[in-house]
Amino acid sequence: MPGRLGGVSARGTRPADDAGRADGAPGPAGAGPPDRARVAARAPVLLRPAAPLDRSLGYVVLLALAAFVVPLLGPSLALHGTGEVAAPGAGGIAVLRTVLCAALCVPVGEAYAGWLARRVPGAPVRPPPSRAVPAAAAGFLAALGLACVVAAGNLIPHRLADLDTAGLYRTRDGVLALVEVNAFLLALLWARTRYPVCRLVPPAAVVAAEALRAHPNTESWPLFGSALTAVHLTCAVLWLGGLWQVLRTVRLWRASDGDGTAAGAGSANGAALLAAYARRAAILLAALALTGAMSTVRRMPPATLLDQLVTTAYGRALLAKLVLVTGVCALALTARFRLAAALPRALPRPGSSARLHDQPRTGDPPDARDPLTACAPARAEVAVLGVVVAVSALLTALPVPIRW
């Protein structure tokens, strides 16, 4: 037959034979092409794409190491040559506060990203698996450890006799420590509830307790300082937790492209979600910069700011945090530029009849065809933000500079 050579078509692919099977296996006569899922399932394992589990696990391990190395080694590096003396166990306290802040990001980020996802038209309803239970458990243990330090007179307890648990109710720091412990315990009990308000009440209580703890009554205008800290911490938790959960959601939606949905619909919805987060992240960044600058001026007056940035442990840690935040902003701008270059081609314009999952033009460059290339700098942004959280926790364990 013309166009056939030994049962193989001119295109180099084997057509459906008399048995009705494209792969040569026996089957009913007149049957159509086989299901691609069944063919892929029979393919050799070596030909299937490798799952990115190993790479993701490596990133998690590196991030965990950075989150623990920075608080543990930070006090000695920051205090070197300053003549200041940190409180006993400053490294351990910084580690506990790092875990506590990271545990806050998970439930708040899940609620925030879920709210953004519901605003994407046609997006899947199913969210990624929740991580609120392990986060609440880790936060509870960290808050319990910090409460033990307060019960021991702000010293590292070495035995149970060093703890004065009844004294927690008689001091301001003790009551705030108990509020954090109870809040994380409540978050653990409400982790599976369907009501978002119940899941957000415990993190709000922890944020309020941390803001009040950071500004004792001995300083001037303590409530104003607590309000600045509360806004700063809330914006930071929304930024890190929201971006982490948005990236998880985008990955889940993108994987749904091969599950019988319209071609590219998951990727387009993920790009829309990432763009919605990026627009609101600019507001969070502005609030963080404003509250951070005002808190810095309250700690270190402008006349001595430059000097204390290099001569005090608190100033050195703050300077390191500013450098890291600058890197985070560069990564965020890179992701936003990639989205801005791709979304006009990937998403329909208002009033257009194009569908959300329409394929881009063939002549477009690769970065313009796939808006989800912005996920690469966004993942790096999450990693650097984790280190920023560790440095921020280190700031809470270092001595506050003296106002000259």
Q: For residues 109 and 237, is the Cβ–Cβ distance under 8 A?
A: yes
H-run or E-run covering 9: strand 8-9
69 CB neighbour count, 10 Å cutoff: 13
Closest CA to 250 of 102, 381, 127: 127
Given a contact cutoff of 8 angstroms between Cβ atoms, the answer to whether 250 and 273 are in contact is yes
Beta bridge partners of 176: none
Check residue 219 and give its pLDDT.
79
Give per-residue burial for 246-281: e unless 16+ CB within 10 Å, then b. bbbbbbbbbebbeeeeeebbbbbbbbbbbbbbbeeb
Say what the pLDDT of residue 344 is: 55
Q: CA 294, CA 230: separation in Å to the nearest integer?
A: 13
Lowest-confidence range among 208-212, 374-378, 385-389?
374-378
Q: With bands split at pLDDT 50, 70 and 90, how would you rate the model's confidence at 238?
A: very high
CA 389-337-108 angle, 5° bins: 35
DSSP character string of 21-49: -TTS----TT--SPPHHHHHHHS-GGGSP
pLDDT at position 213: 92
pLDDT in tens, 8-66: 444 444 444 444 444 444 444 444 444 444 444 444 333 333 344 445 445 556 656 66
Percent of the chain with pLDDT over 70: 71
Give helix then strand counts, H and E, for the chain: 12, 2
- Taking the C-alpha atoms of residue 190 and residue 195, their distance in angstroms, rounded to an integer, is 9
Per-residue pLDDT tens for 165-199? 888 999 999 999 999 999 999 999 998 888 878 88
Q: What's the pLDDT score for residue 141?
A: 96
pLDDT at 351: 38
Spatial separation of the C-alpha atoms in residues 104 and 280, rounded to whole Å? 19
Percent of the chain with pLDDT over 90: 36
What local confidence, expressed as pLDDT, does residue 298 receive? Answer: 87
- Helix or strand run (H / E) with residue 286: helix 265-299
**pLDDT higher than 90, residue 306:** no
> Which residue type is seen at 74?
G
Q: How far apart are CA 70 and CA 67, in angstroms?
A: 6
Of 11-15, 82-86, 321-325, highest mean pLDDT: 321-325
Classify burial at 352, counting beta carbons within 10 Å of its beta carbon; exposed 0-12, middle 13-18, buried 19 or more.
Answer: exposed
User: Is 22 or 226 the better-scoring residue by pLDDT?
Assistant: 226
- 3-class secondary structure, 355: coil
**pLDDT of res. 73:** 64
Are the CB atoms for 242 and 113 separated by under 8 Å?
yes
- pLDDT in the model for residue 257: 62
Comparing 20 with 313, which gets the higher pLDDT? 313
8 near 2, Cβ under 8 Å? no
pLDDT in tens, 90-99: 888 888 999 9
Task: Please state, in angstroms and rounded to a whole number, the distance separating the CA atoms of residues 184 and 208.
Answer: 13
* Residue 400 CB neighbour total at 10 angstroms: 14
- Check residue 120 and give its pLDDT: 87
Reading the block at residue 282, the tokens are: 């600019």
Residue 102 in this model has a pLDDT that exceeds 50: yes
Task: Please determine, for residue 134, whether its predicted confidence score (pLDDT) is greater than 90.
Answer: yes
202 vs 143, 187, 190, 259, CA distance in Å?
A: 13, 6, 9, 37
Q: Which string of b and e fits 128-151 if b means at least 16 CB within 10 Å?
A: bebbbeebbbbbbbbbebbbbbbb
